[in-house]
Every structure is written in C-alpha cells, then in structure tokens.
Amino acid sequence: MKQVSESPNINLQEAEEHYQLSSENYTTESAENHLAYYRDKHPMNYRTLLEYYSN
C-alpha cells in the first residue's frame, strides 16, 4: 500500500459516494479486488474510509 502522509481533503460522505460509484464501473466477483484497486487508484479517499471504519 502506498503511504499517504498528508491528511485527506475529502469528507467521509464524499469518499463513500466515490467508492460506490467506482464499484459500478469495476466489474469483479470479489469485493476485495475492488478494494485493492480503489486503495491503489484513490489513496486519499481510501484513507478517509479506512480511518473512519477502523475506529
């Protein structure tokens, strides 16, 4: 995973909406594959979601 040192400039709602929209364009049989794709392509949004859901 890429390290992101600065704080995200996106709020939780925006990150969730973006993740959902990106999943519609990413066809896969496994949610894990989409999550890995999302983590690599959108690290700031991923970090926002990760920080929220890990608490």
pTM of this structure: 0.51
Count the Cβ atoms, other than its own, within 10 Å of residue 53: 9
| Secondary structure class of 42 (helix, strand, coil) | coil
pLDDT above 70 for 38: yes
Between 32 and 11, whose confidence is greater? 11
pLDDT score of 4: 47
Residue 10 CB-half CA count within 13 A: 19
Between 5 and 31, whose confidence is greater? 31
Q: Average model confidence (pLDDT) for the chain?
A: 76
